[in-house]
Every structure is written in structure tokens, then in C-alpha cells.
Structure 1
Amino acid sequence: MTEISQATVEQAVKTTCATVLRNEFYFSDLDGLAGDGDFGTSLATGYRIIDAEFDSLDKSNIGAFLLKISMLVSKHVGGSSGPIWGTGFMRAAMLSKGKESLTLADLTDMLGSAIEGIQARGGAKLGDKTLLDALIPVHEKMKEHVAAGTADLGVVLKDAADEAEKAIDATRTLVAHRGRASQVGERSSGTPDPGIVSIAIILQDWCKQFGVDRTPSVAEVINQPA
């Protein structure tokens, strides 16, 4: 099975920084439809620091690198996103400690552990209209590819992006049960969750970065800032 190099992991994080910064106001606008409108700014505040300090981050191994990302996210990303995203990176770092490359099975286990950590930290579950509604289907799809012995990581990435994009429409009519959007009750129905949209856009940008041919089909991903 093709391995995922540390350089690829680093590039994925670097690309995520660019995605978050480019979409700072877009993500906040989406959040403003049912939340307090600060999601994009909260994320960008932390990822701007990661981007600025990127060259000096500990890159002795993947786990050390992701642990530093976790620390920066937890410290600098505001609102509930900091603890949630920071926990995800921390749990992924724990399973990649000392590793300089990853198999698809490794990456799948890391995402599974991240999901468990996020659920424990925030109390959300599938169907609560949070980023978990994107991450859990992505994880399930990755597990299918591990079981099938898929060697083409581009296929896995494309399928992951497809699952995240499906989650935008699948949850659009749901009422949020976690986060600020949950405070407006029924008003959250009919609006996209910005956390789910952010995951879908990050995965679409990873497709572009790593040469995976994929055309988005959901308006929130199609209409992201160029």
C-alpha cells in the first residue's frame, strides 16, 4: 500500500492554512445565518499563527508536528472551535508519535481517534449538525477502503471529499443540537453548518493540491472564494 509521507502531511496542513485564511469571511458569513458569525474569524486567528510559524515548527516526526499544531490551535483558535479542533489534532498526534510516514490504515485510525476525542470533548454525536456529520462518514468510507486494500490514495481522497460534501445537503434541514446554532432552535433548519462546509472545502482543496481530479457539486463548495 502506498504510504503517506511526512512531507505530504505537512503540505496538507499548509494547504489547510491557506483554505481557512482565504475563507475567513465566507465561513463567518455562513455562521451568521444561524450562529454568532465568528466561526471563520476564530479559525483564521489560529491558522494565521500556524502559517506564520510553519517553517519553525517541530518536524522531527509526524506526531511531534501534529502535537504542535494541536497546541497552537487550542491556544489561538477562539470559541468552541479551539478545544474541538485542538483535541482532534492532539488525538491524531498521539497515534502518529515517532512516525515519519503513514499507511491508509494509520490515517484512518488517527481520524477515528480524533472523532472519539471530539465527541468526548464536545458531547456531539452524528445528526447534531456539527463537523462530526462530515468526519464520521469520511471515516466510514476510509475504513471501507482499508478493508478493500485500496492502494490509490487519490481515490480515497476523492471519496472522502464526496462524503463531506454530501453531509452539507444531508444536514441542511436538520435543527442544530450543539454549538451556538443550537440556541436559535428551528431557525437553524435550512442553513448549512459552517463546520461541515469547512471540512468539505478543506478536502476539496486537498484534491487540488495533490492532483486529484474532482468537481464539487454543492453550492457552498462551488461558491467558495477563489
Structure 2
Amino acid sequence: MTEISQSQIERAIQTTCKTVLRNELYFSDLDGLAGDGDFGTSLATGYRVIQNDWNDIDKSNIGAMLLKISMLVSKHVGGSSGPIWGTGFMKAAMLSKGKEAVTLQELTDMLGSAIEGIQARGGAKLGDKTLLDALIPVHETLKGHCASANPDLGRALCDCADVAEKAIEETKTLVAHRGRASQVGERSAGTPDPGIVSIAVILNDWCKEFGVERTATAAEVLNQPA
């Protein structure tokens, strides 16, 4: 049985903090193409708190840790991102309550529950040009790996990063139907969604952190700050 330990999840979260903080201005610049230009700053504000409070976060089990992170994100991330990302963490926490490790299937279920929560909270669906256009394909990819007799976590992570990156290009021509970008109508077409880019960049950085070899191809991932 393939398991993901709590320490691995902790590393992934710490890597996410570093990624978000490093890309604060970059994500905001992307958001400024069709939105109000505060996505990167809003996200970084919350993840900076997570990073600063890391030693005080309850790590007695995965669920407790994710629940606390959910609370910090909901409280400190501004705009619509706070409730959306906070809800995702909260739903994942509910399925990992009391666990010190999760199987790939359990992790997949956690992401599925997070997606359902995000959809219920924000009303977005696939094709609305939001981070769901990256998360839903990632979820489908994980489900495919769960069906394997001997799933390879590294391969699964690489494939997830690939589909998230693919979502950047596939949604670029779409008109946004949710978030601030939806208010500019047709002007949102031809611009990348910063939420989708953030998921792709985070997954790419997870690959680096866990020694998974892959080559990014999307300009939005390649152009992120080193």
C-alpha cells in the first residue's frame, strides 16, 4: 500500500509557503492583466502567517494540522481567495482527522472533497477559468493512478504537474465567469488565470522538492522568479 506520511505533507505545505511568497509580485502581475492585481499579495499574506506560525501549528495528526491551516488561510488571505482556499483545506482536514499517514486513494478523496467544497462555496465549475480548471484534472489524474496495482507517487506527482500546466494554455482563450476577472468580460480572454498558474507552479515546485524529474514547458511556469 502506497502511503504519504505526515512529514511529506508538512514538506509540501512548507514548500507551498515558499512558492507563494517568492511569487507574490508575479502572481499579482498576472492577476493585473484582467483582475484587480491583488491575488499574489492576498495569497502571500496568509501563507506568510502560516510560515511564521509554523512551529505553533498543531501537528498531532494531518487533519488537525490542515484544519489549523484552513483557519489561518480563511482569516488572513484577502479577497475571494481566503474563503476558497480555506474551504479546500477544511474539507481535506475532515477526511484526514486523526491520521498520521494517508494512502494515495485517501489523498485523492481529500482533494475531491476540497474541490466539492470550493465549488459549493464559490459556485464555479469546470470551464469558468478558475483554479478548478487545474484542480479537477489533477483529481482525475490521481484517480487514474489509484487504479494502478502499484501506484508510483513520483509518477503521479509529475503527471499532476503536467495536467495543471496544460490547463494554463487550455483556459487562456476562455472568458472568465467567476472572480474579479469575470467583470471585464471579453478582455479576460487571452490572459492566463493566476489561480490556475499558482496550482501549476506549486506542483512544479513540489516535484523539485521531492526529487521528481520533469521539464516545465508553459511560459507562465518557466518565467516565475527563481
User: TM-score, normalised on structure 2?
Assistant: 0.99
Once residues 70 and 86 of structure 1 are traced to their aligned partners in structure 2, the CA distance between those partners, rounded to angstroms, is 4
1:169-180 equivalence runs, <5 A: 169-180=169-180
Once residues 155 and 140 of structure 1 are traced to their aligned partners in structure 2, the CA distance between those partners, rounded to angstroms, is 14
1:217 paired residue number: 217
2:49 paired residue number: 49
1:189-204 equivalence runs, <5 A: 189-204=189-204
1:81-96 equivalence runs, <5 A: 81-96=81-96
1:134 paired residue number: 134
Once residues 24 and 80 of structure 1 are traced to their aligned partners in structure 2, the CA distance between those partners, rounded to angstroms, is 16
2:37 paired residue number: 37
Once residues 150 and 41 of structure 2 are traced to their aligned partners in structure 1, the CA distance between those partners, rounded to angstroms, is 37
Structure 1 unaligned spans of 5+: none
Per-residue CA deviation, residues 90-109 of structure 1 (Å, 9 max, x unaligned), is 00000000000010000000
2:77 paired residue number: 77
Once residues 35 and 150 of structure 1 are traced to their aligned partners in structure 2, the CA distance between those partners, rounded to angstroms, is 43
Q: Secondary structure at the match of 1:34?
A: coil
Once residues 163 and 63 of structure 1 are traced to their aligned partners in structure 2, the CA distance between those partners, rounded to angstroms, is 27
Deviation at 1:148, TM superposition (A): 1.9
Once residues 6 and 15 of structure 1 are traced to their aligned partners in structure 2, the CA distance between those partners, rounded to angstroms, is 14
Once residues 43 and 150 of structure 2 are traced to their aligned partners in structure 1, the CA distance between those partners, rounded to angstroms, is 33
Amino acid at match of 2:217: S
Once residues 27 and 12 of structure 1 are traced to their aligned partners in structure 2, the CA distance between those partners, rounded to angstroms, is 19
Deviation at 1:147, TM superposition (A): 1.2
Deviation at 1:2, TM superposition (A): 2.1
Structure 2 unaligned spans of 5+: none
Identity over aligned pairs, percent: 79
Once residues 23 and 157 of structure 1 are traced to their aligned partners in structure 2, the CA distance between those partners, rounded to angstroms, is 21
- RMSD of aligned residue pairs (Cα, Å): 0.5
Once residues 42 and 205 of structure 1 are traced to their aligned partners in structure 2, the CA distance between those partners, rounded to angstroms, is 20
Deviation at 1:4, TM superposition (A): 0.4
Once residues 2 and 209 of structure 1 are traced to their aligned partners in structure 2, the CA distance between those partners, rounded to angstroms, is 19
Per-residue CA deviation, residues 147-177 of structure 1 (Å, 9 max, x unaligned), is 1234210000000000100000000000000
Once residues 216 and 54 of structure 2 are traced to their aligned partners in structure 1, the CA distance between those partners, rounded to angstroms, is 29
Amino acid at match of 1:71: M
Aligned residues: 226
Once residues 206 and 25 of structure 1 are traced to their aligned partners in structure 2, the CA distance between those partners, rounded to angstroms, is 20
Deviation at 1:66, TM superposition (A): 0.2
Deviation at 1:57, TM superposition (A): 0.6
User: TM-score, normalised on structure 1?
Assistant: 0.99
Once residues 151 and 58 of structure 1 are traced to their aligned partners in structure 2, the CA distance between those partners, rounded to angstroms, is 30
1:68 paired residue number: 68
Once residues 150 and 180 of structure 1 are traced to their aligned partners in structure 2, the CA distance between those partners, rounded to angstroms, is 43
1:158 paired residue number: 158
